[in-house]
């Protein structure tokens, strides 16, 4: 995975494309430079030159690609470019984008889940693969359709039907100087409009030097670009109109895109950032965790001590369930402001995990220093690689969420969970309590999360009507068992943070030990209940709520007939592996909180009394 390479803790691939009036290579590199903030380990561009596809790629920084282009210039008025953060295959020039055959060249963000099956099928037909990447299966799939006689647009339409995962694609074709195709499923893409020119970018920032006139593709869209404009198709293939907006990206490092708030944008970015975070810790081709050396033998860890604040603490609480159940190692967890003062005895040969989005949280930093002084091996899970907590740790486990502007954490939380899930698997394997088949099943469940998250945000409208009812309440309860208990706590925190409604999360089994006294027909109760081994017990608690008139909002993959009581709303979830449920079920709680806050008219991105990073005690 290239762990010797310095990483900046951000890490999302970047896509650019230009249908220009003159040679585009220089402008493609300039656009990629504006995406450097996302982090990358290789870069490349491809153009249509005299009817043929040509490309230049290089490992490392863009200056290496520029040197290559100085020695071997690229002509061509149509081109695509990419900065890559390695997911499948090592960060080598061979694995760098664009990938191509004689007919097709592709740049890609995200994960193609079924690439192994596609590759096997295409190799059986005689296609020769040159890389270790999932992206190359897309190139050969489109090429295969064109070899059957389909023109480029029809070939892409057919190929998209066979792709599983969350992805963004930019595609050009030999012999077609006035054509580029874009597709978006889970990873963002923007189309830019110029005078006789058209542009494609991962976000508006890449396109700011060329145009401020932008259309954001919506989930499931694919678009056919020519120099005269763009024809956009929805998931079903129907031609649709999408708003054309004026972008302000040139003035900002990050902008809201087509979202009303940064929080909404960050919720929608989760398929992409979870993909990149998981890819940092998983060898997807092998179906195994590929975890960095923590400087401590994983099979010798006697206890894990986790400490964090706020949302990060709830990520740690989920990890306690995972590590104890999967790796069979006892876990101690406490909020940092408590652990640092109670002078907890820490065992020799222990691992201390500190979780912080900013890496500057004062209480968490103080706890780190306490743990370090008491002989613990320190591993920090942070989103900012240069932060104080990162610098004072023995090992840094970066989340690749990118800049999170909204005060209420969303994508940073799910990326923290992604790292912690991989850590639990790594410890379990090292200790010999997780066999190869179980590990592969967990890894498969994790790699499917981006696709499932994209599906949830695609049906966002259902959360608006739920939020309208919640906005009338004075109190809201969240219930869950097992790993769903921390998600209930996090859901309640989100609602409190941004809507200012009173909300509490409880372990569902605690209902009869006090909270049930609060329930009447004016109290919404949000129940997080995946159909796992605790489902029947959770439903039993839910029936107690229903008997007292509570208005139940159920988040579950269970069939309605299994619920056996009346619910006010049922947010239907896909069925996934048990390790994946906390990541997935966090997303509906985020959307519930967001839309409730919008209806309440609060400042969603900067709620009162709160700061993004708490750097004082």
Annotated catalytic residues are 13, 612
C-alpha–C-alpha distance, residues 378 and 369, integer Å:
9
Query: Is omega for the bond preceding 300 within 30 degrees of 0, making it cis?
Result: no
Q: Which stretch of DSSP H or E encloses residue 408?
A: none
- DSSP code string of 291-359: PPP-SS-GGG---EEEEE-HHHHHHHHHHHHHIIIII---EEEEEHHHHHHHT----TT-EEEEEESSS
Cβ burial, residue 403 (10 Å; 0-12/13-18/19+) = middle
Angle (CA) 107-277-604 rounded to 5° is: 100
C-alpha–C-alpha distance, residues 45 and 62, integer Å:
11
> Do 617 and 485 form a contact (C-beta atoms < 8 A)?
no
Angle (CA) 464-275-140 rounded to 5° is: 115
Sign of CA dihedral 299, 321, 457, 590: negative
C-alpha–C-alpha distance, residues 470 and 596, integer Å:
7
Q: Minimal CA–CA distance to 316: which of 305, 325, 327, 326? A: 305
Tell me 159's DSSP state. Answer: H
Residue 601 CB neighbours (<10 A): 9
> Do 190 and 215 form a contact (C-beta atoms < 8 A)?
yes
Sign of CA dihedral 299, 300, 301, 302: positive
C-alpha–C-alpha distance, residues 122 and 8, integer Å:
37
């Amino acid at each position: 995975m290239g762990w010797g390479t310095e990483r900046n803790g951000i890490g999302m691939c970047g896509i650019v494309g230009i249908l220009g009036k003159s040679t585009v290579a220089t402008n493609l590199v300039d656009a990629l430079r504006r995406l450097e903030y996302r982090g990358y380990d290789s870069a490349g561009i491809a153009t249509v030159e005299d009817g043929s596809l040509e490309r230049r790629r290089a490992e490392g920084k863009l200056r290496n690609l520029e040197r290559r282009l100085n020695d071997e210039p690229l002509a061509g008025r149509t081109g695509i470019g990419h900065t890559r953060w390695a997911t499948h295959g090592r960060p080598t020039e061979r694995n760098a984008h664009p990938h191509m055959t004689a007919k097709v060249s592709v740049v890609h963000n995200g994960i193609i889940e079924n690439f192994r099956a596609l590759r096997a099928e295409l190799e059986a037909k005689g296609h020769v693969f040159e890389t270790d990447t999932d992206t190359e299966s897309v190139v050969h799939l489109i090429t295969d359709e064109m070899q059957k006689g389909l023109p480029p647009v029809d070939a892409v339409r057919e190929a998209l039907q066979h792709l599983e995962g969350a992805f963004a694609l930019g595609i050009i074709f030999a012999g077609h100087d006035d054509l580029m195709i874009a597709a978006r499923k889970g990873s963002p893409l923007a189309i830019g409009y110029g005078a006789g020119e058209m542009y494609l970018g991962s976000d508006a920032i890449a396109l700011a030097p060329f145009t401020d006139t932008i259309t954001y593709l919506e989930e499931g869209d694919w678009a056919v670009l020519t120099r005269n404009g763009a024809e956009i198709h929805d998931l079903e293939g129907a031609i649709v109109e999408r708003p054309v907006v004026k972008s302000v990206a040139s003035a900002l490092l990050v902008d809201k895109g087509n979202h009303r708030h940064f929080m909404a944008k960050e919720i929608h970015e989760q398929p992409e950032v979870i993909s990149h975070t998981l890819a940092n810790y998983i060898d997807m081709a092998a179906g195994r965790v590929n975890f960095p050396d923590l400087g401590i033998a994983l099979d010798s860890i006697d206890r894990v001590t986790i400490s964090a604040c706020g949302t990060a603490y709830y990520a740690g609480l989920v990890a306690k369930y995972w590590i104890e159940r999967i790796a069979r190692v006892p876990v101690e967890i406490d909020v940092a402001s408590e652990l640092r003062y109670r002078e907890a005895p820490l065992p020799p040969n222990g691992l201390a995990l500190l979780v912080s989005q900013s890496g500057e949280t004062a209480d968490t930093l103080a706890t780190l220093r306490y743990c370090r002084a008491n002989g613990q091996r320190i591993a920090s899970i942070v989103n900012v690689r240069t932060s104080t907590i990162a610098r004072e740790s023995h090992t840094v486990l970066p989340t690749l969420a990118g800049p999170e502007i909204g005060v209420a954490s969303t994508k940073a939380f799910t990326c923290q969970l992604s790292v912690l899930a991989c850590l639990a698997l790594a410890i379990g394997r090292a200790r010999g309590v997780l066999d190869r088949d179980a590990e592969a099943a967990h890894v498969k469940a994790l790699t499917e999360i981006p696709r499932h998250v994209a599906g949830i945000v695609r049906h966002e409208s259902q959360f608006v009507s739920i939020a309208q009812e919640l906005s009338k309440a004075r109190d809201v309860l969240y219930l869950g068992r097992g790993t769903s208990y921390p998600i209930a706590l996090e859901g309640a925190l989100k609602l409190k943070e941004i809507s200012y409604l009173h909300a509490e999360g409880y372990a569902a089994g605690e209902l009869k030990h006090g909270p049930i006294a609060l329930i009447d027909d004016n109290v919404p109760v949000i129940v997080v209940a995946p159909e796992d081994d605790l489902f029947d017990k959770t439903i039993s608690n839910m029936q107690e709520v229903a008997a007292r008139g509570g208005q139940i909002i159920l988040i579950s993959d269970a069939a309605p007939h299994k619920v056996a009581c009346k619910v006010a709303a049922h947010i239907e979830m896909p069925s996934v592996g048990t390790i994946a449920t906390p990541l997935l079920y966090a997303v509906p709680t985020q959307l519930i909180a967001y839309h409730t806050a919008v209806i309440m008219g609060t400042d969603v991105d900067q709620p009162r009394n709160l700061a993004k990073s708490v750097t004082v005690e």
